[in-house]
Amino acid sequence: MSQPSVLRSSAIMALGTIISRITGLARNLLLVTALGTAIIGDTYQVANSLPTVVYIL
């Protein structure tokens, strides 16, 4: 691969990562706004992450 091609691919990946992080932050902010930081928010987080934990095991 040529040097400009590697740099361009790296820049695209970095941009995609930044966009993904920003949208993830926005999602979390919306969830906190909708559910709050009380027990209902914690319950939602556990229910949302439990299937992933079971899948990984």
pLDDT tens for each residue of 28-51: 888 888 877 788 888 888 888 899
For 31, residues 6+ apart whose C-beta sits below 8 A from its C-beta are 41, 44
Nearest residue to 44 (alpha-carbon basis) of 30, 24, 25, 26:
30
Q: Residue 2 carries which side chain, given as an amino acid letter?
A: S
Q: What is the model's pTM?
A: 0.63
Confidence label for 1 from pLDDT (cuts 50, 70 and 90): low
Backbone φ and ψ for 37, nearest 5 degrees, come out as -105, 15
Rounded mean pLDDT of the chain? 88
pLDDT of residue 14 exceeding 90, the answer is yes
pLDDT of residue 3 exceeding 80, the answer is no
Coil, strand, or helix at residue 36?
Answer: coil
Number of domains in the chain: 1
Domain that holds residue 26: 3-56
